[in-house]
């Protein structure tokens, strides 16, 4: 320890668990860092933010600005996906301290002749420490200061801010304090922050009863997905499905002849996680799908489920990776009293865990080699945390553009841990947050706590496993409300279709969130444009999301005043001037609701007494308002929500050109 170092650096933000995990950002973000940086006494302090791309030899630096109460802030621009490091450096700046005191004494009329000599001495010493040509500039400054005949001129020379910057840049750091730790920020591509997901079962694309859909059929459906405005097409497992212990329709223990089984019961004599179900097609068909999707602006996301059917080749080739019961049978999956006889979990406590990890990593690499860069990981919370940290890091080494979505509806701390370990996006509790208070508190938790530094929520109003009571009983209006909330509150959202856009409300039984005739266990041909669908609304929402950057972030939400508990009102701000959007949603799917809404006119750039135009991007209606209060009525059956763009410029008589 250098006993003469006088700087303390504390309260560095952002950091996750004292720097144990990386903060997450996306390409193009401004990485803003704050810290408490101070010294004993009253000397001036200089603080620098150090940064570099991980692996680079040289650090870059930018000078930090003092905020208040010894809080400092600096920032740097983040480049291409990868890992970046940042740290802090601070020192007592004797030359700036001298400048400050010189100015005070001179303005007070005191004799500063000795002070000028002290300043000259400091500059002379700096010249001996600096490298050329900076040293020559400092020698010239000393000569000019010593030879200036006029006192005012000498003081002006001494107070030159460029001199202070030069001294700080090239020398005067001998007793600087470097923060004891370097922090890491993980930079993802922008799709990690902004994406619209659509989930479907390719096997249901056959078009007629009894015909198994294929990957070629999936290619045929791409224009429809693009028309709806989605840029990620997520496929449940596309691998061979086990025969023994296969589940029947409605999750019945015994399958009937012709029952296709659950895609999550992975593996048969025809192959496992690196194979494609024969009835879906071939690897060549899959790669054709990836290429055609890319041409239409869509990425294919694959489901990765680390589990096996009893017929998976792993059970014969690597029995040591599984648990075996005393009767010689393999231990299938259970969540008592539920039993999943068609699924066999891995034993992650096997002595051969390293070989198991390597094989599971190779599954991701196999599909990455075939063009996949987005993975939805099934139940990651039931697998070891260290394994995920290792696999995700290895995948990012191979390609920093890879994105991982954690499908984990579990305890909050576990979901947070998975995000910290490197998952790019996370499923959320959104599906079960229905009231104004629930939504406000949950979004505030996600966007105002430290969670915003490492967790990106992906809002899904439904999944093949989740048909909430709100959707079961709220009718078509409930589906319109929930998709609007998902698409506007979160920059990442998705739906399981066509069940969602067709507003399918029927559960397996009262009190259940399972779909009746669940597609997980049977093939269901759909009339994708059937009566009562909400395709037009979904398409509009996705178009608005693409056109307005305010909806391409999540943490920019601010909840606004509404006098009705049934009307949620919020603003999504934008870095672009005039790009903010106001969103009002009737949360009651049964009743028309009216509310008095308070608009944040100052935030939106509206002057007191100024009229403004509100343009509802959903309905197309325009209206002129004045003042901060607006009355609104929302009919859940017709238009349960409004998305307003506010304009402050209105035409005047001088804007017309009748006489030109």
Question: Hey, which residues are catalytic here?
Answer: 378, 407
The residues pairing with 492 across neighbouring beta strands, listed in sequence order, are 195
Q: Considering only CA atoms, which of 612, 615, 595 is closest in space to residue 604? A: 612
> Residues 6 or more apart from 323 whose CB is under 8 A from it?
330, 331, 345, 347
Residue matched to tokens 């790669």: 287
CA atoms of 413 and 112, how far apart (whole Å): 62
Contact predicate 242/267, CB 8 Å: yes
Q: Helices marked H in 332-381 — which ranges?
A: 353-368
Report helix angle 283-295 to 215-228, nearest 10.
20
> Residues 6 or more apart from 638 whose CB is under 8 A from it?
none
Contact predicate 35/13, CB 8 Å: yes
Contact predicate 409/561, CB 8 Å: no
Beta-strand ranges (E) seen in 157-280 are: 177-178, 183-188, 195-199, 232-235
Beta-strand ranges (E) seen in 286-369 are: 299-304, 307-308, 333-335, 338-340, 344-345
- What is the C-alpha R_g of the chain? 31
User: Taking the CB of residue 389, how many other CB atoms lie within 10 A of it?
Assistant: 16
> Residues 6 or more apart from 176 whose CB is under 8 A from it?
5, 7, 89, 90, 91
State both tokens at 632.
Answer: 């609104």
Per-residue burial over 475-493, b = 16 or more CB atoms within 10 Å of its CB, e = otherwise: bbbbbbbbbbbbbbbbbbb
CA atoms of 369 and 302, how far apart (whole Å): 13
Q: How are beta strands 71-77 and 195-199 bridged, if at all?
A: unpaired
In total, the chain counts a number of residues equal to: 660
Beta-strand ranges (E) seen in 313-456 are: 333-335, 338-340, 344-345, 374-378, 403-407, 425-426
> Residues 6 or more apart from 313 whose CB is under 8 A from it?
267, 269, 271, 272
Contact predicate 23/34, CB 8 Å: no
Alpha-carbon separation of residue 26 from 23, 29, 320, 401, 642 (angstroms): 10, 6, 41, 11, 29
Q: What is the torsion angle, in degrees rounded to the nearest 10, for the CA atoms of residue 458, residue 461, residue 467 and residue 470?
A: 140
User: By CB neighbour count within 10 A (0-12 exposed, 13-18 middle, 19+ buried), where does 569 fall?
Assistant: buried
Q: Considering only CA atoms, which of 459, 540, 471 is closest in space to residue 500? A: 471
């Amino acid at each position: 320890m250098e006993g003469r170092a006088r700087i303390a650096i504390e309260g560095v933000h952002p950091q996750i668990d004292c720097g144990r995990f990386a903060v997450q950002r996306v390409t193009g973000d401004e990485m803003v860092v704050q810290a408490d940086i101070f010294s004993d006494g009253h000397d001036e302090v200089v603080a620098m933010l150090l940064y570099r791309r991980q692996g680079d030899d040289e650090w870059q630096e930018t000078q930090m600005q003092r905020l208040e109460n010894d809080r400092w802030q600096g920032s740097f621009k983040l480049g291409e996906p990868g890992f970046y490091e940042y740290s802090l450096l601070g020192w007592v700046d004797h030359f700036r301290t001298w400048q400050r005191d010189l100015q005070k004494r001179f303005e007070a009329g005191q004799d500063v002749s000795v002070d000028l000599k002290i300043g000259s001495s400091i500059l002379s010493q700096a010249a001996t420490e600096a490298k050329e040509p900076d040293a020559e500039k400092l020698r010239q400054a000393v000569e000019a200061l010593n030879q200036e005949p006029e006192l005012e001129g000498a003081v002006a020379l001494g107070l030159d801010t460029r001199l202070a910057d030069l001294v700080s840049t090239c020398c005067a750091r001998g007793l600087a304090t470097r923060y004891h730790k370097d922090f890491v920020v993980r930079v993802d591509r922008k799709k990690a922050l902004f994406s619209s997901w659509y989930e479907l079962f390719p096997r249901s694309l056959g078009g007629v009863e009894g015909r198994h859909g294929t990957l070629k059929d999936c290619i045929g459906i791409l224009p429809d997905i693009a028309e709806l405005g989605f840029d990620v097409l997520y496929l449940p497992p596309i691998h061979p499905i086990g025969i023994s212990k296969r589940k029947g329709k409605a999750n019945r223990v015994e399958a009937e002849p012709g029952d296709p089984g659950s895609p999550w019961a992975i593996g048969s004599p025809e192959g496992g996680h690196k194979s494609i179900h024969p009835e879906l097609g071939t690897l060549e068909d899959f790669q054709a799908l990836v290429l055609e999707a890319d041409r239409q602006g869509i990425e294919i996301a694959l489901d990765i489920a680390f589990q096996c059917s009893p017929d998976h080749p792993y059970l014969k080739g690597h029995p040591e990776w599984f648990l075996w019961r005393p009767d010689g049978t393999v231990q299938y999956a259970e969540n008592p009293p539920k039993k999943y006889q068609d699924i066999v979990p891995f034993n992650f406590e096997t002595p051969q865990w390293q070989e198991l990890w390597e094989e599971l990593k190779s599954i991701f690499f196999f599909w990455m080699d075939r063009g996949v860069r987005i993975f939805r990981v099934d139940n990651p919370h039931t697998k070891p945390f260290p394994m995920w940290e290792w696999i995700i890091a290895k995948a990012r080494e191979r390609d920093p553009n890879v994105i991982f979505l954690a499908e984990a509806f579990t305890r909050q701390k576990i979901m947070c841990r998975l995000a910290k370990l490197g998952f790019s996006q996370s499923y959320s509790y959104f599906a079960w947050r229905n009231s104004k208070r629930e939504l406000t508190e949950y979004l505030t938790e996600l966007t105002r706590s430290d969670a915003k530094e490492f967790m990106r929520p992906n809002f899904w109003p439904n999944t093949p496993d989740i048909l909430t009571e709100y959707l079961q009983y709220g009718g078509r209006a409930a589906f319109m409300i929930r998709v609007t909330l998902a698409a506007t509150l979160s920059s990442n959202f998705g739906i399981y279709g066509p069940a969602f856009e067709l507003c399918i409300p029927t559960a397996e039984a009262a009190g259940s969130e399972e779909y009746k005739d669940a597609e997980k266990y049977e093939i269901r041909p759909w009339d994708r444009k059937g009566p009562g669908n909400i395709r037009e609304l979904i398409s509009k929402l996705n178009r608005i999301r693409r056109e307005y950057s305010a909806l391409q972030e999540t943490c920019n939400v601010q909840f606004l005043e509404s006098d009705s508990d049934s009307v949620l009102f919020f603003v999504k701000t934008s870095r672009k001037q005039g790009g903010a959007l106001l969103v009002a949603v009737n949360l009651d799917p049964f009743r028309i609701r009216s509310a008095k809404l308070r608009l944040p006119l100052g935030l939106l750039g509206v002057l007191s007494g100024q009229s403004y135009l509100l343009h509802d991007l959903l309905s197309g209606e325009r209206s002129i308002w004045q003042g901060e209060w607006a009355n609104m009525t929302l009919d859940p059956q017709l238009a349960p929500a409004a998305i307003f763009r506010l304009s402050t410029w209105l035409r005047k008589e001088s804007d017309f050109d009748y006489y030109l």
